[in-house]
Structure 1
Amino acid sequence: MQLKSNRLVIRSYMYEDYEAWIAGLKNRLVSQSRHDEGRPQDLPAYTKEKFKKKIEQWSKQDDAWQLSEFGIFRENDGAHIGKIELYRTQRNGKELVLLGYAIHNQYWRKGYGKESVVTIIPFIFEYLQPERIELHIDSDNLASIHLAESIGFKYEEKQSQFSFDSGEWSEFFIYYLEK
């Protein structure tokens, strides 16, 4: 799969992407918020071999189209900007795709997140054909909430104790888009 927008290419990872992928991680700034991992502390652990294994894992998952991860690359220089994750599932009797996205923090506030999501939505509806696409957004992730609302996702509900992370429960908002 390969999709193009004005500035970006969204596609399956290839072995040749390792250098761009690792550069994206190395060039991250320190964490900017609790929703941002920042620069990985153990960069030497991100080896070519581990990257190759991840690609093989994603490839197997792609075949089943249950969980898929795609790289977001800047078209003009091939820089790895971030990733998009798709998870095919059902909720409340509806076929849906959960959409996740993460942009390396050194590329924030340039419109790459919005451009990526807008680019992949038609692919999701045309190829995977879910009844709806959902975003599960931590209730205090204002940037992600703004992105969702700016492209037409509708607020559905608040889920208390939705995710248990770092010893505490988080509250999430569910946003959706229907064809």
Structure 2
Amino acid sequence: MDFKNYNFSTDRLNIRPLDFSDYDSWLLGFTERKTSKYRHDKGKIDLSNRNRKWFNNLVRKHKKLFENDEIYIFSIFDKDGKHLGMIDIVTIERENFQWGECGFYIHNQFWNNGYAYESMLKVLEIANKELEFHRLEAHVNLDNKPSFKLLEKLGFKFECTRKGFIYEFGEWTDNYIYYINLHDEDL
């Protein structure tokens, strides 16, 4: 797969893998984050060791993961080039499954603008038509209502609650599992 050919746009957004030239925009997106608003919002993040060399290694790592069909990481930019957030798709199983898991985040200074919905719609289309996934699932903390509301709006369906599924916040936490079968949708 050619990493550079995965450049997509919507009316307001450009969605693509990071490039070496994105460092300043990427850094600004993180440094302008607001203080944490709730438990699942990391808020301000210490980037003191995230210099250009570190970033270039990150871009190379993303490219390798992409080319190996392991993880597809798409950055979200507005039309002015501001880094708004990211979406990733992790390959769980190919062969007879074509199954992946997706996650998303928007920097908190850009919340409530519809960017997550708009970018996720496009990435679902990419996952279906370009990356040939059939099923995507998303894992959501039980108290992360904004995320599961967004997933439902996108057409994801609640499947189950996985008990003690992920270790975070110093404990094994339960997650809701949402899924979408892309070939069943009009994407």
Same fold (TM over 0.5): yes
What residue number does 1:168 align with?
171
Cα offset, 1:130, TM superposition: 2.0
Q: Which runs of 5+ in 2 are unaligned?
A: 1-5
Cα offset, 1:94, TM superposition: 3.0
Paired with 2:19 and 2:97, the residues of 1 have a C-alpha distance of 33
What residue number does 2:38 align with?
33
Aligned-CA RMSD value = 1.3
TM-score norm. by structure 2 comes to: 0.90
Q: Which runs of 5+ in 1 are unaligned?
A: none
Q: Give the % identical residues.
A: 32
TM-score norm. by structure 1 comes to: 0.94
The answer to whether 1:8 aligns with 2:23 is: no
Count how many residue pairs are aligned between Structure 1 and Structure 2. 176
Write out the 4+ residue segments of structure 1 that deviate beyond 6 Å after TM superposition. none
| Aligned partner letter, 1:81 | L
| Aligned partner letter, 1:80 | H
The answer to whether 1:64 aligns with 2:81 is: no
What residue number does 1:53 align with?
57
What residue number does 1:128 align with?
131
Of 154, 158, 164, 2:157 maps to: 154
| Aligned partner letter, 2:25 | A
| Aligned partner letter, 1:13 | L
The answer to whether 1:82 aligns with 2:85 is: yes
Query: What SS is found at the alignment partner of 1:124?
Result: helix
Residues 67-104 of structure 1, C-alpha deviations (whole Å, 9 max, x = no match):
121210001x110000011101139x733111111100
Residues 95-131 of structure 1, C-alpha deviations (whole Å, 9 max, x = no match):
3111111100000111000111001111101122222
Residues 134-165 of structure 1, C-alpha deviations (whole Å, 9 max, x = no match):
11111111000110011111110011101111
